[in-house]
Structure 1
Amino acid sequence: MPDRKEPLLDMDVGKVASHSTDARTTESRVAPGLSEQKTRTSLVDPAPAAFSRPSGVATNKAASKDVDAAEKRAAAAARLKAAVEAAAKRTGQAVNQETATASDSHRETSSPRPAGAGFSASASASTSSASGYKEPSETASAGQGGGGGFDHPHYLVRREPDQPGGGGGFSPLLWVALVLAVVGLAFGGWQYTRAEKQQQSMLALADRVQELEIRLSETGQDLSEAGTTFREKLEWADSEIRKLWVVAHQRNRPAIAELQEQVKGLEGKLTQAERQAGEAATAARTASERASEAGRNLQTQTEALKKDIAAMGQRLTEVSLTTSTLDQRLRNQDNRNEVTALKRQLEVLEQKVAAGGMPAELQQKLQEQEEILASLEASRSQLVSRVTQLMDQVRELQQAR
């Protein structure tokens, strides 16, 4: 009877399946955490619309980004696990196919196993040839004990490797499947550890988000109270502004109307003043033109007057010379006439005195002659003063010129 062998490959495939189950369980544990994280993030109360959001919202956004990154990593891990499961499934199918092939070939070369055998002979042969272990032989044969044998417990014992040509070995495809299974187990363990770390990180993020929710709720209450206070103050300010508007409107409206009337009156006065200013400017231009013309005429007249004064100066000079000459001549003539008359009278008087005394008539004539001499002297003085005045006037005219 051939030895019974432990199907180690089936056990490794079972380990892969169990690891896939653990990974699926981890994914099921991570997924609720992610959904809970999303729910907590979505339940954060937003700040009131009338106020700015607090600074903790930035931290909440960072936590949301971390959660999204964790979700992406979890999704990648899930896809990788699915790929590992598919590879394990394909490996199991290949192992089953190889086992079936080995079992068919073994049936052709060996006798059938007893009815109570727990494993197939082909699987035992292939497993024993690959692993180097064998099971102890059964104590009862097919002829003993009524032809029905039983299996002993699966004690793995070391046996010598089969001789060449004594049985079939593993194919290269089976070795590749085993390597892939080991790599899948290692990668699954690494993904499991990474998923555990991600779960811990998400739990920490959940605690942080919960703390932020508490802070945001407190901040929301503070903002609500501040909004209520601000609304009350705003209503009070509106009422005061309304009162002030009513008072200002009732008091300022008549003043505004009066000011508008005053402005209209001032505008009329301003128009009249502008018109008067225009007329004054026109009159000033006319007066300026007239003054310019008068200045030109005055200059002409001044020049003519200067010429006349020069001519008069010359004539006055001539007159003064003539007057001086006449005065001298008159004085000389008068003196000569008077001297002649006096000489004659003196001669007559001398004759009369010599003839016999001075009569009364002669004395009267002498007195008259003396008065005439005095009057002549006065007239001569007046004539001299007039000539002197004329000379002074002529001199002044010459200086003014």
Structure 2
Amino acid sequence: MSERKEPGLDPAGLESLVVDTDTRPGDRMPQRGNEAGRSGGNLLVTTLLLLLAAGGGYLGFAQVEQQERLNGLQSDLAQAQARVETLEGLLEVTSDSAEQSGQTLLQRQQEMDARAKERFTHFDAEIAKLWTIAYQRNKPQLEQQVEQLKKLSDRMQEAETALAGVRQDADKAADALAQVGTLKAEQQAQGKALQARLAAAEKQLGTLEQGLQRESEGRLKVQKQLTEQLAGVSGGSDATAALAQRIRQNEQAIAAIDGTRRQLSQDLLRIRQQLNNLQLRVEQG
């Protein structure tokens, strides 16, 4: 670092600033204006010299401070390079460990796949056994349900035939009551007879409905249990398909019988309303 030379005071130049004491009094008065100009110029020069000296000192201090900062940055750079080298070493070690860990994980995965395959084979065998047991246990109950549903269907068919005859008689009675207004007593007798037959038919239908209701509730309960057993077992077989087909047939048969029962009830209600209307007309006539 080169040294900076600060400007100093020139002795030769200062000599001109010394006042001549030997000047005669007669000559001082004309030179006052010149002396005032010289003193103002000397003050300005002194001020400039002081400013130059202060600026030079400040520049020197700033240069020293910048040099210290540069040295600090070089030290930080050296530390960063050392850390990078350390991290590179750690990465090499980590890469080797990761490769070994990957091989270990692959072996464990192969072992787990083999165990899972063995368990799946065992589960398939157990499921097949459960399907066989469920089919053998539930087959007699399903066959019994089919027979009972057939009997109920036959009985409902008989009741429907009887009600068809009642409907025909009611229609005939309605026609007779509409055409013959003078046979009031006979019409009333026919109406009472029809009401008696209708009451008997309603009683018979009520008995059938009660029996059907109990039978349907029992079959639905058994069927629900069978469905839950089948739902708890996954897989498929011919026996299971047949069992599911019979369950669906039972559901359809129960739904059909229930629909017939509702239709018969509606027909009985309609016939009773017709008889009541006819009887009212006879009484009013």
TM-score category by the smaller chain?
A: 0.3 to 0.5
Indicate the structure (1 or 2) with the bigger Cα radius of gyration.
1
TM, length-normalised to structure 1:
0.24
User: Which of 1 and 2 has higher RCO (CA within 8 Å, sep 6+)?
Assistant: 2
Q: Which has the higher helix share?
A: 2
TM, length-normalised to structure 2:
0.33
